[in-house]
Structure 1
Amino acid sequence: MAHALTFCQWVLLAGCAAASLYAMLAAVAMPFFSTRAAGAARQSAHSFADVGVSVLKPLCGAEPRLYENLRTFCDQRHGRFQLVLGVSTPDDAAIPVVRRLQAAYPWHDIELAVDTRVHGSNLKVSNLINMAERARHEVIVIADSDIAVDPDYLDTVAAPLADRTIGIVTCLYVAKGVGGFWPRIGALFINEWFAPSVRVAHAAGSRRFGFGATLALRRTTLARIGGFDALKNCLADDYWLAEHVRALGLRTVLSRVIVATDVIEPDFSALWQRETRWLRTIRSLNPLGFAFLFVTFTSPWLLAGAWLAGNLSAGAPDDLHRWTAYASAASAAAGCAARVLLHARAARHRRTFWVDLPLVPLRDTLLALQWFASAFGSHVVWRGARVPVSSAGAGAERAAMDAMEISDGG
Structure 2
Amino acid sequence: MATIAKDRPMMSGGSLVLIAAASVAVFTTLASWLFLVLMTRQSRRRHLPDHTPPVSIYKPLKGLDEGLEENLRSFFQLDYPTYQLLFCVADPEDPAIEVVRRLLAEYPDHDAELIIGCSVFGLNPKVESLAMMDRVRRHDVILISDSNVRVRPEYLRETACYLAEPGVGLVTNLFTGVGERSFGAALENLQLNGFVAGNVAWGNGMGMTCVVGKSMLIPAHVLAAIGGFAGVRNLLAEDQAIGMRVRRAGYTIRLSHHVIENVNRSRSLRWFLNRHSRWFKIRRQMAGPLFVIEPLGNLSTVALAWAFSDVSGIAWGGLLALISLGIVRDAAQSKLLRGHTPSLKTLALSPIKDLFLMPIWFDALINPRVIWRGNRLIVGRYTRLRLARVPRHVHVRVRNIRRLRARG
The alignment's TM-score, normalised by the length of structure 1, stands at 0.85
SS at match of 1:255: strand
1:170: how far off? 0.5
The answer for the alignment partner of 1:21 in structure 2 is: 27
1:55: how far off? 0.2
Q: Which amino acid aligns with 1:124?
A: K
1:19: how far off? 1.7
Kindly indicate whether the alpha-carbon contact (under 8 Å) linking 1:125 and 1:231 is maintained by their aligned counterparts in 2: yes
For 1:271-302, what per-residue CA distance to the aligned partner results, in whole angstroms no more than 9, with x for missing partners? Answer: 21111111011001112010010111102322
Q: Which amino acid aligns with 2:261?
A: A
How far, CA to CA, are the matches of 1:352 and 1:365 in structure 2? Answer: 19
Q: Which amino acid aligns with 1:232?
A: R
Q: Structure 1 391/67 Cα, relative in aligned 2: closer, same or farther at 3 Å? A: farther
Kindly indicate whether the alpha-carbon contact (under 8 Å) linking 1:167 and 1:251 is maintained by their aligned counterparts in 2: yes
The answer for the alignment partner of 1:404 in structure 2 is: none
1:164: how far off? 3.5
Q: Which amino acid aligns with 1:254?
A: L
How far, CA to CA, are the matches of 1:216 and 1:162 in structure 2? Answer: 12
1:307: how far off? 5.0
Gaps of 5+ in 1: 314-324, 397-410
Question: Where do 1:247-326 residues align within 5 Å?
Answer: 247-263=248-264, 266-306=267-307, 311-312=311-312, 325=314
Q: Which moved more, 1:88-97 or 1:352-361?
A: 352-361
Among 20, 38, 45, which residue is 2:45 paired with?
Answer: 38
Q: Which moved more, 1:122-131 or 1:259-268?
A: 259-268
How far, CA to CA, are the matches of 2:266 and 2:273 in structure 1? Answer: 9
Question: Where do 1:8-407 residues align within 5 Å?
Answer: 8-33=14-39, 34-40=41-47, 43-44=48-49, 46=50, 48-49=51-52, 51-203=53-205, 205-263=206-264, 266-306=267-307, 311-312=311-312, 325=314, 335-336=322-323, 338-348=325-335, 352-390=342-380, 392-393=382-383
Kindly indicate whether the alpha-carbon contact (under 8 Å) linking 1:235 and 1:391 is maintained by their aligned counterparts in 2: no
Q: Identity over the aligned pairs, expressed in percent? A: 28
SS at match of 2:370: strand
Kindly indicate whether the alpha-carbon contact (under 8 Å) linking 1:20 and 1:302 is maintained by their aligned counterparts in 2: no
SS at match of 1:106: coil
Q: Which moved more, 1:19-28 or 1:80-89?
A: 19-28
1:392: how far off? 3.6
1:16: how far off? 2.1
Q: Which amino acid aligns with 2:38?
A: F
1:22: how far off? 2.2
SS at match of 1:352: coil
Kindly indicate whether the alpha-carbon contact (under 8 Å) linking 1:26 and 1:342 is maintained by their aligned counterparts in 2: no
SS at match of 2:160: helix
1:36: how far off? 4.2
Q: Structure 1 189/246 Cα, relative in aligned 2: closer, same or farther at 3 Å? A: same
SS at match of 2:285: helix
Kindly indicate whether the alpha-carbon contact (under 8 Å) linking 2:212 and 2:239 is maintained by their aligned counterparts in 1: yes
For 1:310-367, what per-residue CA distance to the aligned partner results, in whole angstroms no more than 9, with x for missing partners? Answer: x245xxxxxxxxxxx4xx5776565455334312212326662423221111011112
Kindly indicate whether the alpha-carbon contact (under 8 Å) linking 1:122 and 1:232 is maintained by their aligned counterparts in 2: yes
The answer for the alignment partner of 1:320 in structure 2 is: none
Q: Structure 1 294/347 Cα, relative in aligned 2: closer, same or farther at 3 Å? A: same
Kindly indicate whether the alpha-carbon contact (under 8 Å) linking 1:24 and 1:339 is maintained by their aligned counterparts in 2: no
Q: Which amino acid aligns with 1:18?
A: V
Gaps of 5+ in 2: 1-5, 387-408
Kindly indicate whether the alpha-carbon contact (under 8 Å) linking 1:148 and 1:259 is maintained by their aligned counterparts in 2: yes
For 1:123-156, what per-residue CA distance to the aligned partner results, in whole angstroms no more than 9, with x for missing partners? Answer: 1101111110111011100000110011011111
Kindly indicate whether the alpha-carbon contact (under 8 Å) linking 2:183 and 2:269 is maintained by their aligned counterparts in 1: no
Q: Structure 1 155/367 Cα, relative in aligned 2: closer, same or farther at 3 Å? A: same
Q: Structure 1 201/225 Cα, relative in aligned 2: closer, same or farther at 3 Å? A: closer
The answer for the alignment partner of 1:321 in structure 2 is: none
Greater relative contact order structure (CA < 8 Å, 6+ sep): 1
Q: Which amino acid aligns with 2:44?
A: A
Kindly indicate whether the alpha-carbon contact (under 8 Å) linking 1:207 and 1:252 is maintained by their aligned counterparts in 2: no
1:7: how far off? 4.3
How far, CA to CA, are the matches of 1:90 and 1:394 in structure 2? Answer: 28
For 1:14-49, what per-residue CA distance to the aligned partner results, in whole angstroms no more than 9, with x for missing partners? Answer: 222222222222333331224542213xx32x2x22
The answer for the alignment partner of 2:406 in structure 1 is: none
